Amino acid sequence: MPKEALNPETIHRPVGGYSHVVIAPAGRLAFIAGQVGVDQDGNIVGKGDMTVQSRQSLENLKAAAEAVGGTLDDIVSITVFVTNIDQFIAASEVRRQYFRPDYPASTLIQVGRLAHPDLLIEINAVVALG
């Protein structure tokens, strides 16, 4: 059984690629630590560019999900930490290239700084492995 998204009519319609509620199939859960704009060699990519760092963060998230036998479609929840919400909104189209309906539940938080001053975004996730 795949995940099921639910957007109650009594809550505002989601703007962008997320769902208010996601019902996950019975099975195991995998919790993926925050992924940032760092490539496989440990180099920060796209310094100053939210779009490039978003893409790298999502590629890292995808690789982590695949490493446990899942896909991006199995992600039921993400938390996105950004240093500038306005930059994130401008780069949010990248997210729609990775997630499709039924979208994961999502929380967006602006923070003062991430682990390194050149990092602009960090995304963690919960994957439901059926």
Is pLDDT above 80 for 47? yes
Q: Which amino acid is at 62?
A: K
Domain boundaries in the chain? 4-129
The tokens 């963060």 sit on which residue? 57
CA distances from residue 114 to 25, 34, 54, 90 in whole angstroms, order as listed: 33, 10, 14, 19
Domain boundaries 4-129, corresponding CATH code: 3.30.1330.40
What pLDDT was estimated at residue 25?
78
Strand-strand pairing, 105-110 and 28-36? unpaired
Q: What is the mean pLDDT of residues 54-82?
A: 96
Residue 79 has pLDDT above 90, yes or no: yes
Per residue in 4-30, pLDDT (tens digit) is 888 889 888 887 778 888 888 778 999
